[in-house]
């Protein structure tokens, strides 16, 4: 079963927040509520989210400013504004800040759920089309820059491990036979990675990128490996 996508709901109207969380949870998501900018910033620093639903007018700040901060730190994190402000200037401002959508109150819950689904799907598609980078919000792999970040921790990854990760992520969801992986792990000097070394490398790589809540590489006994993209 896929790991549930976590959504941060930043809304100071307690009744509306509770209703949003209830409907989103019923729709298969996992929600976390914040009623202030301060709480939202704290949650964003300590947890990973797939999307943020963000009110503009908050007790201790402005949703536009929070959106700017989110996009500066996590540009790939989708943001949908929820607000009673339907002025053209405010709507355009929201999009200029990088928000994926702008929904004015009152709104139809089914339509909002569909917009959430579209924003998440679009974000995932954009991640997958960038061959030089892979990210799910928790793990970031930069193949061009040779960087790997898990949560906030920068990981020491070897060139062969990057090569292995690139092959796995480009074939996400498909079983890669060990033979195929071994063939792709020749280096420029013609050095070959043997079967035992592949097993050791794969286990070491798992120890670096995975934790109890995030499993990326699955062994298919007698066949090879599959990149699950964090699905459980």
Count the neighbouring beta carbons within 10 Å of the beta carbon of residue 24: 21
| 1 or 213: which leads in pLDDT | 213
Identify the pLDDT of residue 42: 94
Here the tokens at position 142 are: 């930069």
Identify the pLDDT of residue 84: 80
Peptide bond into 68 cis (omega under 30): no
Phi, psi of 184 (to 5 degrees): -90, 0
- Is 71 a residue whose pLDDT tops 80? yes
Count the neighbouring beta carbons within 10 Å of the beta carbon of residue 1: 5
Looking at 36-45, 161-170, 180-189, which range is the least confident one?
A: 180-189
Looking at 38-42, 63-67, 73-77, 125-129, which range is the least confident one?
A: 125-129
- Start-to-end Cα distance in the chain: 6
Here the tokens at position 206 are: 């798992």
Name residue, tokens 């079983």: 175
Identify the pLDDT of residue 127: 53
Beta strands in the chain (DSSP E): 6-10, 30-34, 51-55, 57-58, 61-62, 79-83, 101-104, 133-135, 139-142, 147-150, 153-154, 175-177, 217-220, 224-227
Here the tokens at position 207 are: 């120890």
Q: Which of 144, 203, 141 lies closest to 172 in space, CA to CA?
A: 141
Specify burial of residue 170 (Cβ count, 10 A radius: 0-12, 13-18, 19+).
middle
Count the neighbouring beta carbons within 10 Å of the beta carbon of residue 61: 15
85-120 confidence digits (pLDDT tens): 767 777 777 778 788 888 888 888 998 999 998 888
**Do 165 and 157 meet the contact criterion of CB atoms below 8 Å apart?**
yes
């Amino acid at each position: 079963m896929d790991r549930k996508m976590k959504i941060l709901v930043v809304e100071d109207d307690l009744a509306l927040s509770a209703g949003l969380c209830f409907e989103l949870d019923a729709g298969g998501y996992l929600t976390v509520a914040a009623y202030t900018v301060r709480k939202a910033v704290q949650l964003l620093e300590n947890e990973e989210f797939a999307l943020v639903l963000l009110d503009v007018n908050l007790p201790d700040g402005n949703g536009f400013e929070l959106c700017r901060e989110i996009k500066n730190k996590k540009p790939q994190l989708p943001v949908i504004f929820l607000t009673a402000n339907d002025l053209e200037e405010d709507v355009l401002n929201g999009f200029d800040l990088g928000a994926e959508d702008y929904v004015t109150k009152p709104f139809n819950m089914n339509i909002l759920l569909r917009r959430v689904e579209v924003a998440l799907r679009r974000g995932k598609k954009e991640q997958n089309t960038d061959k030089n980078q892979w990210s799910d919000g928790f793990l970031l792999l930069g193949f061009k820059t040779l960087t790997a970040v898990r949560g906030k921790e920068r990981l020491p990854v070897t060139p062969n491990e990057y090569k292995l990760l690139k092959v796995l992520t480009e074939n996400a969801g498909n079983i890669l036979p060990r033979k195929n992986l071994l063939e792709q792990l020749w280096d420029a000097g013609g050095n070959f990675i043997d079967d035992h070394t592949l097993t050791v490398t794969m286990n070491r790589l798992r120890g670096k990128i995975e934790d109890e809540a995030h499993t990326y590489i699955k062994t298919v006994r007698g066949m090879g490996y599959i990149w699950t993209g964090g699905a459980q």
